[in-house]
Amino acid sequence: MPALPQGASARSSAAALSSATLGLGSSALVIAAVLVVLRNIASPDHDSWAALLLLVPLAGLMVLAHLRRTVPVMVLYLVAGSACIGAYAGIILMNAPPALAESPFLLALPQIAFVYTIAPTVLGARSIVFIALAYLFGQTAVLLTAICTGIFPRFDSMTAFSTFVILAVGVSNLVFRRRSAVDFRAVERARRESDAIAYQQELEAQVVALFHDTVLSELTVLSHQEPGPLSDTQRGAIRRDLTMIEEGAWWPSHTAGPDRGTLPGLVAEVIDGMRSEGLVIEVGGDIASLHRLTPEVVTATALALWQALVNVQQHSGTDRAEIGVDGAPDAVVVMVADAGSGFDETAVPADRLGVAQSIRGRIQDVGGEVKLWTSPGSGTAYLFTLPVAPEHRWPGEATRP
């Protein structure tokens, strides 16, 4: 069964990074609130309670940005969040003693929360840009506040270092995932080429066996026969062998059963239809395994393939797609991949049903599974794991739990 160990590892590391950064960001905001409260209690003459109130809308924006990563939400987050940070910094600077005003620690905590909250589950190029913009917006807000108040704190090295760390990890993650996607496509292409070589060798063996059993056998018989007319039996045998060669019955797809090397009708119609619209589609692997599926699963697979190929044609920026098929004891695996522009799945609006319903929904409705690997600039790959009909499970093999 095809697998993406490196891609899966990259997604797992990105998910772990997202959880860690969300925890750090939330902790930084809570610590800032606690310090503001303690400062007001310890020094009642330095009234900065209003700064505490400004952390509330910032927390709400952080929750919104973490749940919905669309461009409008992120723009709102950057503008409104930096405004809250600027107002918070103004209250702290105007009401703090000189020693505290010059220290950037209390000002750094909301900015760290502001930057770290938007590290997404999958770090794409767009997300890295948003993280850098969050740092720039926050620093600009504090600088403008300092100019207005005439109080300039020391350089905030804490926020700068924290942002550098998250950006370095994000860029490394993005490079690793793109390299993993390229490596996987190279491995899959090499596997298909290996299958093609094995198939060619099988074909050559069939041809050699055919000529050995027909032409050479007949010539051997004729070489030992006395000159004269051929018997009816010999003429019939020669005519039968010539018909076999002429009709191509030596081709492995004929000798191994009617389904070997052919696509189910509906799947073939989908692929032919998309090819007629200009999409170049390469199909390889254990195609015969598709005939182990029930008609219901074949229909769902064909419709899901159609939607995936339509997405390639309309959104990927490439005119090529690859379909690979592999068999397992109780499942058939179908992969649809392209090397196009990819996309951020978390940024797809909830009302867009192409992936959710037309692909995932259809396959899940017939008991299958769908995995999707994609990110901006890294292409897209769907992996369908399809249940086979009970009578077509391979004997002597352990089935999956």
Domain boundaries, the chain: 5-181, 200-255, 265-392
More confidently predicted of 96 and 257: 96
- The confidence band for 26, taking pLDDT boundaries of 50, 70 and 90, is confident
Q: What is the percent of the chain where pLDDT is above 70?
A: 71
**What would the pLDDT profile of 259-290 be if each residue is shown by its tens digit?**
335 788 889 988 988 898 889 999 988 888 89
* Single pTM value for the model: 0.42
CATH of domain 265-392: 3.30.565.10
In the predicted structure, residue 109 carries a pLDDT above the cut 60? yes
According to the model, what pLDDT value does residue 84 have?
Answer: 92
According to the model, what pLDDT value does residue 249 have?
Answer: 45
Mean pLDDT, rounded, for 15-29: 74
In the predicted structure, residue 148 carries a pLDDT above the cut 80? yes
According to the model, what pLDDT value does residue 83 have?
Answer: 92
In the predicted structure, residue 10 carries a pLDDT above the cut 80? no
- The confidence band for 28, taking pLDDT boundaries of 50, 70 and 90, is confident
**What would the pLDDT profile of 91-101 be if each residue is shown by its tens digit?**
888 886 666 55
In the predicted structure, residue 193 carries a pLDDT above the cut 60? yes
More confidently predicted of 387 and 152: 387
According to the model, what pLDDT value does residue 393 have?
Answer: 78
According to the model, what pLDDT value does residue 108 have?
Answer: 87
**What would the pLDDT profile of 44-54 be if each residue is shown by its tens digit?**
777 778 888 88
According to the model, what pLDDT value does residue 297 have?
Answer: 92
**What would the pLDDT profile of 347-396 be if each residue is shown by its tens digit?**
665 545 567 767 888 898 889 999 988 888 888 889 999 999 888 777 64
In the predicted structure, residue 7 carries a pLDDT above the cut 70? no
Q: HEC states along the chain?
A: CCCCHHHHHHHHHHHHHHHHHHHHHHHHHHHHHHHHHHHHHHCCCCCCHHHHHHHHHHHHHHHHHHHCCCHHHHHHHHHHHHHHHHHHHHHHHHHCCHHHHHCCHHHHHHHHHHHHCCCCCCCCHHHHHHHHHHHHHHHHHHHHHHHHHCCCCCCCHHHHHHHHHHHHHHHHHHHHHHHHHHHHHHHHHHHHHHHHHHHHHHHHHHHHHHHHHHHHHHHHHHHCCCCCCCCHHHHHHHHHHHHHHHCCCCCHHHHCCCCCCCCCHHHHHHHHHHHHCCCEEEEEECHHHHHHCCHHHHHHHHHHHHHHHHHHHHHCCCCEEEEEEEEECCEEEEEEEECCCCCCHHHCCCCCCHHHHHHHHHHHHCCCEEEEEECCCCCEEEEEEEECCHHHCCCCCCCCC
